[in-house]
């Protein structure tokens, strides 16, 4: 990830450990995606026994796994937007 925006020069990481809060955003995005994937697979695939539920969970994880880099990137972007919205009064030149 770039240290500063190549267009406007905005410094992305305000302080050490700034993106720790993005973990919570990532977790929320992951939960929404996992439940959505599970729900779609639940409706599409045939089900029957407890074994089928386990296989459905494995299929959900397999479908979600390629989405991890996308979730990682967008969780940081969403966290930055949320942080800038809630605390916009920061002098970027002092950082």
Is 5 domain-assigned?
no
Is 34 domain-assigned?
yes
- How many Cα atoms within 13 Å fall on the side-chain side of residue 89? 0
Domain extent for 81 = 20-85
Q: What is the pTM of this model?
A: 0.73
Give pLDDT tens digits for 76-91: 889 988 888 887 765 5
Give Cβ neighbours of residue 64 (< 8 Å, ≥ 6 apart): 30, 33, 34, 37
Is 33 domain-assigned?
yes
Give pLDDT tens digits for 21-74: 889 999 999 999 999 999 998 888 876 665 688 888 999 999 999 999 999 999
Is 73 domain-assigned?
yes
Is 43 domain-assigned?
yes
Q: How many domains does the chain have?
A: 1
Is 75 domain-assigned?
yes
Return d(Cα 51, Cα 15) in angstroms, integer: 47
């Amino acid at each position: 990830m770039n240290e500063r925006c190549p267009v406007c020069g905005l410094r992305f990481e305000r302080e050490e450990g700034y993106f720790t809060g993005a973990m919570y955003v990532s977790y929320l995005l992951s939960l929404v995606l996992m439940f959505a994937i599970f729900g779609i697979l639940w409706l599409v695939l045939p089900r029957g026994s407890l074994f089928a539920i386990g296989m459905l969970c494995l299929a959900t994880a397999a479908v979600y796994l390629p989405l991890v880099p996308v979730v990682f990137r967008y969780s940081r972007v969403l966290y930055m937007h949320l942080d800038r919205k809630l605390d916009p009064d920061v002098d970027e030149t002092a950082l």
